[in-house]
A and B are shown apart, each in its own frame.
Chain A
């Protein structure tokens, strides 16, 4: 079979600022396309992205061409396969057990959320990105990971440094310098915390990993914590802001949910509509035939779940935010062995706590000007700002 067609027109800039029209065209015209500006083959149909993620025997997560290892100063579980990946994942998984979610993390989330809502200014325009969504995600993460001493500001800065470093495909100096500094600070914090969680074990991720009967090596414990910091702030932050934007710009839907209490619908629709993690990379371990083309061994493919979530075969008018749309599986949490460990945490906290609490406390909240909200991101995507008046 022929290789996938290749494209020289699509730029990283276009994918960063306005990717959805591009994906819509590709789903119709070239669902498997080599995009030269990113050096990858992108898959934009839901069936294909799912098939790749569910087939780790032929599509490895170990993409050596990313700057991730340098940014994290480690080969992390995100880029491992099989038992090596599973051992590191399972080391952290007990923290996220349904029982811990119910008894520890949901109550903790509720408290932090209410505290942070209390301190929002009432009579002026407030940007919910820096004033709520960012710090809320950081504080909850600190509690779950077992880093209560880390400030919201530090955690957000470290997270952004890890993201920028891992996405530094141009290998510029500044992002690597910034993440090196962040790594130093995180390493120092973890070194100080380990004896404390050994002395007083709890259900936090650090404690569970350190105090396991057969712990994974300390270097992997550290890299797991960094993965959680790198991914555990922007994703819940961007999900919350995206859903709030959707509801604030669709008052009829918001009113219907205030009546029915089905806030989980808004959660699922929001993360479908603009997936916080838009793409995931995999490497073909052998020649794979798909949709009439050959993906050659060694090719790096990007599964674009953002596009899978807008696949017209599954979703009518996918560009619309519609909490009442016909149910169909979105792929925002991925699938297969790397399926998001924080899925249930996100559903239970954002879907069942944050949305009803926010709209009960501020039933007249208004977006100041929807056209002023800026959306950005190719790998990770969300609004960069969400200016609102809480009391309408």
Chain B
């Protein structure tokens, strides 16, 4: 079991238990974490599961590959260096405790 903490743009924190192998998007949707729309269901095509990976975790998660960066340009909230599509972050044991920040808007 791993734990992920989601922090909304106005600072509200939600910590949920997650299963290794799941995507961060799936975890958020299953736990009804507000602020992840995930319209395309994880196909890297809609840019509505945008998150900012917490600085402390960014090295372990890694930067978005080029095609994901391209898609992030279509995200509703500004893309930054730490931006990822949460459907593309797969949970591994070393991501236990991961913290991600939610953008102001996904649409």
Chain A residues near B (Cβ < 8 Å): 54, 93, 97-99, 102, 268, 327-330, 333-337, 339, 341, 343-344, 347-348
Contact = CB atoms under 8 A, between A and B. Distances in A.
Nearest to B104: A327
B54 to A, nearest CB: 24
Interface stretch (B3-11, B12-20, B38-46): B38-46
A333 B74 contact: no
B41 A337 contact: yes
Nearest to A53: B41
Interface in B29-82: 37-41, 43, 45-48, 67, 70-71, 73-74
Given A98-B74, A333-B46, 19 more contacts: A54-B41, A98-B70, A98-B71, A98-B73, A99-B70, A268-B107, A327-B105, A328-B107, A333-B39, A334-B39, A335-B39, A335-B40, A335-B41, A336-B40, A337-B40, A337-B43, A339-B41, A339-B46, A343-B45
Nearest to B46: A339
A73 B45 CA distance: 28
B39 A344 contact: no
Contacts, number: 46
A336 B41 contact: yes
A344 B71 CA distance: 9
Chain B interface: which size bin?
10 to 19
A329 B40 contact: no
Nearest to B68: A98
B43 A339 contact: yes
Pick the most buried of A328, A330, A337: most chain B CB atoms within 10 A of its CB.
A337
B106 interface: yes
Contacts of B43: 337, 339
Pick the most buried of B45, B67, B70, B74: most chain A CB atoms within 10 A of its CB.
B45
Contacts of B37: 329
25 contacts: A93-B45, A98-B70, A98-B73, A98-B74, A99-B70, A268-B107, A327-B105, A327-B107, A328-B107, A329-B37, A329-B39, A333-B39, A335-B39, A336-B40, A337-B40, A337-B41, A339-B39, A339-B40, A339-B41, A339-B43, A343-B45, A343-B46, A344-B47, A344-B74, A347-B74
B64 to A, nearest CB: 12
A339 B37 CA distance: 12
Contacts of B73: 98, 102
A97 B70 contact: yes
